[in-house]
Amino acid sequence: MKTARKFAWRKFLMALRLTMRPQPMKYAIVCCITLGLLLTGGGSSEAEPHKHPSFKPINPLPSTTGQWVRTAGPEGAFVGSILASGSNLFAGTSAGIFRSSDGGATWAASGLEGLNIQTFAVHGSGVFAGTSGNGVFFSTDGGESWTAINNGLTATNVVCLLVTGNDLFAGTAGGGLFVSANDGASWSPITGLVPRNVFALATNGTALFAGTGRGVFRSTNNGATWAAAGGLDDVIFSLAVIGSYVFAGTDDEGVFRSADDGATWTQVNSGLTNQIVLSLAVSGTTLYAGTGGGGVFRSIDGGSNWTSNSEGLTNTNVQSLRVSGLNIYAGTSGGIFLSTDDAVTWGPINTGLTAFTVVFSLVQNHGDLYAGTNGAGVFRSQNGGASWTAVNMGLTNTIVRALAQSGHSVFAGTSIGPFRSTNGGTSWTALTNGFPGAFVFSLYAKGPNLIAGTNGEGVWVSVNRGTSWIETKGLALAPNAIRCLVAGDATLYAGTALTGIFKSTDSGMSWTDSNSSQTANVDVQSLAVHDATIFAGTRINGIFRSLDGGATWTQVNEGLTNLSVKAIVMAGEALFAATLGGGVFLSTNNGDNWIPINNGLISQSVRSLVVKGRTLFAGTDGGVWRYSF
């Protein structure tokens, strides 16, 4: 289990479970050195927050009636959930729902195109689908049609669903737990559960378990009250029950087992060589674990021992597992695989499963566009998105949350650390010397200087393009997730998950608080800066603006109908804001008002933006889109 400093709050959004995986914390001796100030002109992206040298007027101003066009990729079905219901098999992907009536041999689109489907549940003949940013949908006709059922559901990033009796529970990322007693017609928040990130739900008799960003919690009165179960403080991605055993899959500590309804837990990882356990499934007394990068493992003795079972599984980021009779289905970041021999061997079953991958980050370098994806690595386009090519040689981890560029170098921040390419992505080199092996959430690059913001291990600085690293001062940043980094003329700003905004005037070597009372505890996901004006996009509070270099802040949400702001970029006096579930918004008056610009944008969960000339590119849960203005 983690110490207090080792614990780090989780994302991603999880929406997409592995993407927000906190990392173990390690202490390091801080060396004080002098760096040249990082001036503008570098490139960065967790959500591509650029500093622009001046507000050069653009003529004409961007149109609000333009049309979005999907680029040619990157292709790849991210399958976050699988459900067997009657004769139908449903796949929840980053591009909507697909359905198969022949056991997965063929697939056809079944609605909610453009939405990221994270979880399913069944009650009677009804099927429920939980989405990233758009709440819950319900189908009573086998997936022919879907209806939004979000009355009272104030948090719409729905990660898990559970039916128990006549109650339907919805666990969300950032909004806690909700319950409905009428098949989703109305929802009520459950106030007794303190953690706001609920990633997994399970029942064992009369006990209800919630896997959260702060361990397992248990309720014995159908969710009315909750208590921490056994002091397990890890991030819990998955839960499963076999008889009297309850199993919890964690972010990086493998599997824990409880034989006393969560009062105590035992780590059971013998043979489990990958301990990022994204999914768990049960068949009789056999337990299966889907991992982040290690494929599928199987245990036939209650988790005491595990064997690797991934032959034929060409994508080993296993987001979801589903057992249906003798068939076992694995949903990965690159489609669906089927095993008919108890998970010994696997084969792809993706005919008709046409989808585009989740794009976390975008950056341009010497005219080329690069897209960092959730499990498919980096893609490059040399023709404005008309085609995309995977460029992953040497990139040993394909969860790419951040991209940055400087000169002829492109940097990729992954769930195991940073990588560098000096040849347009043709090959990559791991930048591990002195780096803690943490999940890199944000990058900023300028000349030889590279700064990496991590999930739980603070900010790290390199003065030699990542060849070696120095841990910065400012432990108030840890155990935060450093979601974004941006540079002003002589100041760096960092947006954090727990404590708002920090700034550095010595090239990142030390950090001080840059909050007002409004921003002190908000989750800041994106930053943009021009001179003394700074914009901060937050997870649930919309956009804040500072006109005095971060001394004071004001909310500027007029017209912003979705308050989960993943990215902000500037193009002259035009501001573009990307939201999770609400598409893209435009402001031409310094953020005073916002107007949606979503014509044709089917994929409205937008995670990254970059401007190239008079074209805006958006990285979404359904590939990259472009908008000419």
Among candidate residues 184, 210, 245, the one where a domain is terminated: 184
State pLDDT tens for residues 351-370.
988 878 889 999 999 999 99
Average pLDDT over residues 615-624: 94
Residues 430 and 512 in one domain: yes
Q: Is residue 321 part of a domain?
A: no
DSSP annotation of 20 reads: G
pLDDT in tens, 282-305: 999 999 999 988 999 999 999 999
Question: Span 412-426, mean pLDDT?
Answer: 95
Task: Report the pLDDT value the prediction gives residue 29, as an integer from 0 to 100.
Answer: 24
Which of 184, 217, 235 finishes a domain?
184
Confidence of residue 56 (pLDDT cuts 50, 70, 90): low
Residue partners of 336: CB distance under 8 A and separation at least 6:
77, 79, 82, 91, 104, 329, 330, 348, 349, 350, 353
104 and 133 assigned to the same domain: yes
pLDDT(202) > 60: yes
What average pLDDT is seen over the chain?
Answer: 87
pLDDT at position 21 is 35
The pLDDT value recorded for residue 476 is 56
127, 156, 184: which is the final residue of a domain?
Answer: 184
Residue showing tokens 């709050």: 9
Do both 132 and 147 map to the same domain? yes
- Range with the poorest average pLDDT among 23-32, 85-94, 127-136, 552-561: 23-32
| Judgement on whether residues 28 and 171 belong to the same structural domain of the protein | no
Ramachandran angles phi, psi of 368, nearest 5°? -90, 145
Residue 23's pLDDT is 33
Residue 219 lies in a domain: no
Cis peptide before 24 (omega within 30 of 0): no
Instruction: Tell me the per-residue pLDDT of 592-618, one tens digit each, with 9 for 90 and over.
Output: 999 999 999 998 999 999 999 999 999
Give the pLDDT of residue 478.
Answer: 56
Chain segment 8-50, per-residue pLDDT in tens: 333 333 333 433 333 333 222 222 322 332 333 445 444 444 3
Same domain, 20 and 95: no
Give the rounded percent of residues in the chain with a pLDDT score beyond 70: 90
CATH code of the domain in which 162 resides: 2.130.10.10
Tokens of 96: 């909507």
Report the pLDDT value the prediction gives residue 357, as an integer from 0 to 100. Answer: 86
230 falls in which pLDDT band (50, 70, 90)?
confident
**Position 1 pLDDT exceeds 60:** no
Residue 506 counted as domain residue: yes
Q: List, for residues 316-347, the tens digit of each pLDDT value.
A: 889 999 999 999 999 998 899 999 999 999 99
380/409 same-domain check: yes
**Considering the domain boundaries, does residue 311 fall inside one?**
no
Domain containing 507 equals 12-72+356-628
What's the whole-number mean pLDDT along residues 233-247?
A: 93
* The pLDDT of residue 501 is above 70: yes
DSSP characters for 308-328? Answer: E--BT-S--BEEEEEEETTEE
Same domain, yes or no, for 469 and 457? yes
- The letter for the amino acid at 617 is F
85 and 51 share one domain? no
H or E element in which residue 15 lies: helix 12-15
Q: Once rounded to an integer, what is the mean pLDDT over residues 119-130?
A: 93
Is residue 173 domain-shared with residue 106, that is, in the same domain? yes
Considering the domain architecture, whether residues 68 and 23 belong to the same structural domain is answered as: yes
- The answer to the question of residue 190 being in a domain is no
The separation between CA 217 and the C-alpha centre of its own chain, rounded to angstroms, equals 23
**CA separation, residue 108 to residues 97, 196, 406, 545 (Å):** 9, 35, 43, 45
In a domain, 280, yes or no: no
Q: 132 is written with which tokens?
A: 């990233």
| Residue 189 belongs to a domain | no
Q: How many structural domains does the chain have?
A: 2
* Whether residue 17 sits in one domain with residue 94: no
| 217 domain residue, yes or no | no
Asked if 507 and 618 sit in the same domain, the reply is yes
Q: Which of 157, 153, 113 is nearest to 131 (CA)?
A: 157
